[in-house]
Amino acid sequence: MGMKFIGARVPRLEDPALLTGRGRYVDDLHFPGMLHAAMVRSPHPHARVTSIDARQALAVPGVHLVMTYADLPAPAQQARIPMLVPNPSIKHPLMPYALAKDEVCYAGDGVAILVADSRYLAEDAAALVDVAYEVLPSAGDCREALKPGAPPTHAGIASNLAAQFTLAYGDVDGAFARAAKVVAASLWHHRGGGHAMECRAVIANWDPLQKQMILWSATQSPFLIRRSLTELLGWDEDNLRVIATPDVGGGFGPKTIFHPEEVLVPLCAERLGKPVKWVEDRRENFVATTQERDQYWDIEMAVDAAGKILGVRGAMIHDTGAYMPWGIISPYISSMTTPGPYVVPTYRLETRVAMTNKVGTTPVRGAGRPQAVFAMERLLDKAADALGMERAEIRRRNFIQPAQMPYNVGIISRDGKPVIYDSGDYPGCQEKAEAISDYAGFRARQKEARARGRYLGIGIANYVEATGLGPFEGATVRIGPSGRIFLLTGASPQGQGHKTALAQICAEKFGVGLEDVTVQLADTGIIASGVGTFASRIAVNAGSSVHLAAQDVRKKVIKVASHLLEAAEEDIEIDGGKVFVRGVPGMTKTLGDIARSVAGMPGFALPGGMEPGLEATQYFSPAQAAYCNGTAVAEVEVDIETGRIDVLRYAMGHDSGNLINPMIVDGQVHGAVVHGIGNALYEWMVYDADANPVSTTFAEYLLPTAAEVPRIAVTHQETPSPLNPLGVKGAGEGGTIPAAACIVAAIEDALAPFGVKVEDTPITPVKLLQLIRKAQANAA
């Protein structure tokens, strides 16, 4: 047999180019005659646009075009940008026009796009576009926005309530009536961003030979861009090709979203007949790229005397910002995630989605789950404290047991189907995390530290995450006359190593090396249908498609070889790119020989009446999500004089099913954990009371650096999903989901002598010091 690749820590095919400066991101591409665009954006959170005068800008030599709403083609004036995932509970399905019609609804909303010879010139001239605004009252805080008399976020709407829904099962009020203890919390998770190191970028180039508009975009989903563009502009999708390759510099959610520039840049290229490039700068990324997390939870838990959960109920307000391009996905996911790995017999969460005059919110790594896990895990800590029970123990008492799988949670998902966990060993995963974090030894460490005046604390948190979101992804596997294997897929990576992981699955089927597989991806021109890389879905969807397509091609190779070598199919073996007859040395053909034999000769029938070519396409469509899970343990130190918080140790028990490349999965977990540490301690997208963005540079909005984060210990439990042929589950977001919950728990544990309670994230030194001082004053 050839090399076993699945499960192996193989180096990535992507790396040599990226390490030597030969990566190619959108801004690295150049086309002859290319022009450069800059956006004119609203400086106001809410205003009426009374006039736009572009004459001065257009008079600047080298300026080619200023496009405003009035200059858009008729379809884009009539229709707003399509909402990708509508839902009947949405009362105001508000989406923006490609450019503001007569009203801007957040600071950063696009008013005009300007095209010039260079970006420098375009920015100079954009400053000369004279836009007259009549400033309107704006809604900042999502709780205030829902109150009667709050300023409407959009002219003509009766209320800022965008959507309302309740997820419930069982007699939750009855459960509370017979509870031994009820604990409650009011919690707030603040807004942050995806902050891929590469901002968004688009090039549109009309190809007169192919009669095709080619769009290069730093996107997570070229197929969704194509769909949105054809829907909005009525373009023929065969004349539109969207490419997110060779390289995209990070995604983390917001690059899934169809942003207005993705329609404006091709419109400018069409109008001018020249390639047009627009590259978002970091400040624009802060004001005009979607964000996530602002949610307020008022939630309570009922437990019996043994610490068993009887019910969870409460209400949540989600800030969707001025627009809702991804519908109500994030708050819906939040409300489905709360029960997590625990038996929660009764549940009710009432969710209200509020519009504000801030940039829209859409999923960012974790997608609504960190907030729900924060709520659930903080309640469990409070319940444990109320019962005088150890915090890990209350979790053990409530876990869904492996024997209960598949487990019907009781919730109906947004596609109308019940939420059923397919597999998982939650007690086993927590046990592993406790072992690698030396959870049992912590109290001794804490005692020893406290004797020296140091405040250490520990926190533990669990989560369950729906991954491998459908409906499908596809892959074509083809062996050419050269014997080389080609793998084509709509998966669209931004650093996840799809090329390597998918080549691993494919190469193993033919006993060849990874270098013998050419992987092409992220291009609507190479496969008929695709979805994109988000929702931790590629290993499940694209991985399974590659597995199935490669298996089909393998079967065909055996069939053709059996014919050519006059041997039974059972006796044919494939290895090292060659086909053998078992026990007959010398009876061999290369994969290239087999491919050529079914490529056909003019006038001759194909051998055995077979179909031409060695090629198969498969679109794997999972029956439902594959549920991954994990346990995080954080150990922190708090300096009670300064409020400084150091995460000393961090451990993660992680179960994403079978691992294709453990090195890549570890990297996903490390990155996701640090994103979660950012959410817990540093990342705070600050707006003032009127919804003006305040933190619009990396000097004001803090991403974690290497110096703040600890070494992260990861241990994998591999519980295969029965729902896909590889037994895999998603791994991209799990690290983020429980991070804030366990870090805040650890901070509270460290400050237990003062009784400090932390209810919101990020918890900064200044805020924490205020809490410590307040607690000290109360005690005195």
Partner 1 sequence: MKDMRKVSVTVNGKSYAREVETRLLLSDFIRHELELTGTHVGCEHGVCGACTILLEGRTARSCLMLAVQVDGANITTVEGIAPSEKELHPLQQAFMDNHGLQCGYCTPGMLTTLIEFLQDNPDPTEHEVRVAISGNLCRCTGYQGIVDAALDAAKRLQGGKRA
The site for partner 1 (CB under 8 A) is made up of: 11-12, 14-25, 27-28, 30, 120, 194-199, 247-250, 252, 281-282, 494-497, 663-664, 666-667, 669-675, 697-699, 703, 705-709, 711-712, 735
Q: How far apart are CA 743 and CA 749, in angstroms?
A: 10
Strand partners, 663: none
The distance of closest approach from Cβ of residue 349 to partner 1 in the complex, given in angstroms and rounded to an integer, is: 31
> Looking at beta carbons only, is 120 or 238 nearer to partner 1?
120
Contact 597, 564 (CB under 8 A): yes
Q: How far apart are CA 483 and CA 203, in angstroms?
A: 35
> Looking at beta carbons only, is 131 or 669 nearer to partner 1?
669
> Looking at beta carbons only, is 155 or 694 nearer to partner 1?
694
Single-letter residue type at 458: I
> Looking at beta carbons only, is 185 or 651 nearer to partner 1?
651
Single-letter residue type at 292: E
Token pair of 204 as six digits: 């549109």
Q: How far apart are CA 183 and CA 178, in angstroms?
A: 14
Contact 620, 545 (CB under 8 A): yes
Report long-range pairs for 232-236 (Cβ below 8 Å, ≥24 apart): 232/75, 232/76, 232/79, 232/81, 232/82, 232/98, 232/263, 233/73, 233/75, 233/76, 233/263, 233/267, 234/75
Q: How far apart are CA 246 and CA 143, in angstroms?
A: 43
> Looking at beta carbons only, is 736 or 761 nearer to partner 1?
736
The distance of closest approach from Cβ of residue 647 to partner 1 in the complex, given in angstroms and rounded to an integer, is: 12
Residue at token pair 């009020």: 173
Residue 476: enclosing H or E segment and its boundaries? Answer: strand 473-479
> Looking at beta carbons only, is 122 or 182 nearer to partner 1?
122
> Looking at beta carbons only, is 446 or 494 nearer to partner 1?
494
> Looking at beta carbons only, is 247 or 381 nearer to partner 1?
247
> Looking at beta carbons only, is 667 or 720 nearer to partner 1?
667
Query: Who's near 482: CB < 8 A, 6+ residues apart?
Result: 592, 595
Three-class DSSP category at 65: strand
> Looking at beta carbons only, is 429 or 712 nearer to partner 1?
712
Task: Find, among 317, 135, 289, the residue nearest to 201 by Cα.
Answer: 289
The distance of closest approach from Cβ of residue 712 to partner 1 in the complex, given in angstroms and rounded to an integer, is: 6
Q: What are phi and psi of 650, to 5 degrees?
A: -145, 130
The distance of closest approach from Cβ of residue 711 to partner 1 in the complex, given in angstroms and rounded to an integer, is: 6
The distance of closest approach from Cβ of residue 10 to partner 1 in the complex, given in angstroms and rounded to an integer, is: 11
The distance of closest approach from Cβ of residue 193 to partner 1 in the complex, given in angstroms and rounded to an integer, is: 10
Contact 511, 573 (CB under 8 A): no
How far apart are the two ends of the chain, measured CA to CA in Å?
Answer: 74
The distance of closest approach from Cβ of residue 23 to partner 1 in the complex, given in angstroms and rounded to an integer, is: 5
679 secondary structure, DSSP code: I
The distance of closest approach from Cβ of residue 433 to partner 1 in the complex, given in angstroms and rounded to an integer, is: 17
Strand partners, 456: 637
In a 10 Å sphere around its CB, with 0-12 CB exposed, 13-18 middle and 19+ buried, how is residue 568 labelled? exposed
> Looking at beta carbons only, is 308 or 670 nearer to partner 1?
670
The distance of closest approach from Cβ of residue 260 to partner 1 in the complex, given in angstroms and rounded to an integer, is: 22
The distance of closest approach from Cβ of residue 250 to partner 1 in the complex, given in angstroms and rounded to an integer, is: 4
Strand partners, 68: 112
> Looking at beta carbons only, is 591 or 664 nearer to partner 1?
664
Residue at token pair 């510099």: 249
Residue 556: enclosing H or E segment and its boundaries? Answer: helix 544-564
The distance of closest approach from Cβ of residue 466 to partner 1 in the complex, given in angstroms and rounded to an integer, is: 23
> Looking at beta carbons only, is 24 or 450 nearer to partner 1?
24
> Looking at beta carbons only, is 535 or 739 nearer to partner 1?
739
- Count Cβ atoms below 10 Å from residue 515 Cβ, excluding itself: 10
DSSP for 360-384 reads -B---TTTTHHHHHHHHHHHHHHHH
Ramachandran bin of 307, using left for φ above 0, alpha for ψ from -120 to 50, beta for the remaining angles: left
The distance of closest approach from Cβ of residue 392 to partner 1 in the complex, given in angstroms and rounded to an integer, is: 25
The distance of closest approach from Cβ of residue 462 to partner 1 in the complex, given in angstroms and rounded to an integer, is: 20
The distance of closest approach from Cβ of residue 702 to partner 1 in the complex, given in angstroms and rounded to an integer, is: 10
Three-class DSSP category at 182: strand
Q: How far apart are CA 314 and CA 495, in angstroms?
A: 38
The distance of closest approach from Cβ of residue 463 to partner 1 in the complex, given in angstroms and rounded to an integer, is: 18
> Looking at beta carbons only, is 248 or 491 nearer to partner 1?
248
The distance of closest approach from Cβ of residue 380 to partner 1 in the complex, given in angstroms and rounded to an integer, is: 26
Contact 658, 720 (CB under 8 A): yes
Q: What are phi and psi of 378, to 5 degrees?
A: -65, -35
Query: Who's near 91: CB < 8 A, 6+ residues apart?
Result: 161, 162, 163, 164
Q: Where are the beta strands (DSSP E) in 25-96?
A: 35-41, 47-53, 63-68
Q: How far apart are CA 662 and CA 313, in angstroms?
A: 38
The distance of closest approach from Cβ of residue 129 to partner 1 in the complex, given in angstroms and rounded to an integer, is: 21
> Looking at beta carbons only, is 22 or 178 nearer to partner 1?
22
The distance of closest approach from Cβ of residue 448 to partner 1 in the complex, given in angstroms and rounded to an integer, is: 22
Task: Find, among 230, 225, 288, 322, the residue nearest to 534 by Cα.
Answer: 225
Q: HSE (CB half, 13 Å, CA atoms) of 254?
A: 26
> Looking at beta carbons only, is 279 or 558 nearer to partner 1?
279
Triad 345, 349, 355: Cα angle to 5°? 165
Q: How far apart are CA 282 and CA 344, in angstroms?
A: 43
Angle between helices 391-398 and 426-436 (to 10 degrees): 160
> Looking at beta carbons only, is 222 or 474 nearer to partner 1?
222
Q: How far apart are CA 199 and CA 220, in angstroms?
A: 12
Task: Find, among 637, 565, 634, 642, the residue nearest to 597 by Cα.
Answer: 565
Task: Find, among 630, 634, 654, the residue nearest to 761 by Cα.
Answer: 634
